[in-house]
A = this chain, B = another copy of it.
Amino acid sequence: MHTSEAMALSAALLSVAGELTHRINEGVVARGFEGVRPAHGFAFARLAPDGATVTDLAAHLGVTKQAASQLVEEIVRKGYAERRPHPEDARARLVVLTERGWACTRAAEEAAAEAVGAWVELLGEGEVRVLRQQLGRIAPYGPLRPAW
């Protein structure tokens, strides 16, 4: 693998990632959820199963807990989540999605499916499955960082 090939692979990957993010966000907005940014989607993904604390979110997003706190304040104000007392720790608060938050998450899934659908038309279903498996194997466990 020459350095130029590595650069071409990197450029293609980042280009595809940028386009995908853009399309998902567009699709979410088109489904009636305004005032949401891509970063919110990654927060929703962490909140979705059982909720999370602000500190959990901060680690997941790779930002300070103050930034995570501000983000939570924003999505609470917009009706996508709510703060509940934590059942085991009186200092902490459990942030959980509201019904609107769940609806927005489903909209993001639909938009993602649409974007991936365009790849299926280009590569075929089998190749896209291969792509998913390959990316899954090299995906890190660390925080979701902004791409640049």
Given contacts A8-B132, A10-B115, contact A140 B16 (CB under 8 A): yes
- List residues of chain B with CB within 8 A of the CB of A130: 130, 134
Q: Interface residue tally of chain A, by bracket? A: 35 or more
How many subunits of this chain does the assembly comprise?
Answer: 2
A5-50, CB < 8 A from B: 5-22, 24-25, 37-39, 41-42, 45
Q: Is the CB of B147 within 8 A of A9?
A: no
Least Cβ distance of A44 to chain B in Å?
11
Does A138 sit within 8 A of B, measured CB to CB?
A: yes
Q: Is the CB of A13 within 8 A of B17?
A: yes
- List residues of chain B with CB within 8 A of the CB of A79: none
Q: Is the CB of B145 within 8 A of A19?
A: yes
